[in-house]
Amino acid sequence: MPDDRIAGWRPSDSDLFTTYGDAFVPRRREQIETVADLLDDLAEPHVLDLCCGEGLLAEEYLRRHAAGRVTLLDGSPEMLDKAAQRLARFGTRWEHVRADVHDRVWRCGAYGGVMTSLAVHHLDGPGKRDLYRDLYAMLVPGGVFVMADLVEPVGARARDIAAAHWDRAVLEAGGAEAARAFAQAQWNYYRLPGPDPVDTPSSVAENLTWLSEAGFAGVDLVWLHAGHAIFTATRP
C-alpha cells in the first residue's frame, strides 16, 4: 500500500478511536470476550484478525491460548504499530500484514479461525458476499469465522432505538467527555441521514444469508446491542 490513507478511514479516525474506543464500542469488554469464547475450541489455533486496530481481539486470543498464533491485518500503519506494542509480550506468536480489506491479495492461507470487529461494514453488499466466500476458502475444515460489526436496521423504529442505545452506552462507559467527542465526530452511524459511501452495514438477515450461501454451517447471531452484532459461522 503506497500511501498512508485507506479508503474512508483517516489517521484522525485512528486517533479518535484509540482515545475513546472503550467508550465508543458498546460493551466492548463483553464483545471481546464473546468473540474469544467462540474461538476457544479451534483444532488449528491460528487465527486471522481482520482489521485488527490496536490488537485487542488478538491480545485476548493469545492470552487464553498458550499455543495460539494470530496474524493481524490492517491498512493503517499507526494501528499496526499500536498492536505491535500491545502484543510484544507474546514474542513470535503473532505477525502483522498491512493490506486493504477490499483487496484480494491477502485472501489466502489456511486458518483455524478468522475474527474481525468493526470493519466489514466498510464493504458493500457484493463485497461482503465475496469476502465470506473467500474467508470460507481460507479456513481449514472445522474452522470458525466470528464477526462483530454494525448491522443495518430494517425499519426506522429499530434505527432510532439503535441510535439511542449507542448514545447511552457511550455516556455510561465514558462519561460526558466521551459523549461530547462521540457527538462532535458524528460517530453514531444511526443518527446520520445516509446513505454513506464509507459505512455500508448490511442487515442481520443479509449477513446470515450470505454466510450460508458461502457454504458455512452453524451460521448464527450470537449477540446484539445498539446496532452492534456478533455473528459466528463454521466451515463444515
Ligand X SMILES: C[S@@+](CC[C@H](N)C(=O)[O-])C[C@H]1O[C@@H](n2cnc3c(N)ncnc32)[C@H](O)[C@@H]1O
Enumerate binding residues for ligand X (CB under 6 A). 6-7, 9, 14, 17, 21, 51-54, 56, 74-76, 79, 100-102, 117-119, 122
Min CB(129)–ligand X separation in Å? 17
End-to-end CA separation in angstroms for the chain: 34
CA proximity to 28, closest of 164, 145, 174: 174
CB 217 within 8 A of CB 236: yes
Least spacing, CB of residue 141 vs ligand X, in Å: 26
> Given the complex with ligand X, which of 69 and 86 has the nearer CB atom?
86
CB nearer to ligand X: give 154 or 192: 192
Residue with smaller CB distance to ligand X, 53 or 113: 53
The number of beta carbons lying within 10 Å of the beta carbon of residue 134 is 14
Q: 81 vs 213, which CB is nearer to ligand X?
A: 81
Instruction: Assign residue 3 a region (left: φ > 0; alpha: ψ between -120 and 50; beta: otherwise).
Output: beta
Nearer to ligand X, 54 or 167 (CB): 54
- Tell how strand 228-234 and strand 139-150 pair up: antiparallel
**Shortest Cβ distance from residue 59 to ligand X (Å)?**
10
- In the three-class reduction of DSSP (H, G, I as helix; E, B as strand; rest coil), residue 33 is classed as helix
- The C-alpha torsion from 103 through 70 and 22 to 198, rounded to 10°, is 10
**What cell numbers appear for 217 in the block?**
454451517
What letter represents residue 211's amino acid? L
In the bound state, the residue with its beta carbon closest to ligand X is: 53
CB of 202 to ligand X, least distance (A): 16
Q: How far is the CB of 156 from ligand X (least distance, A)?
A: 25
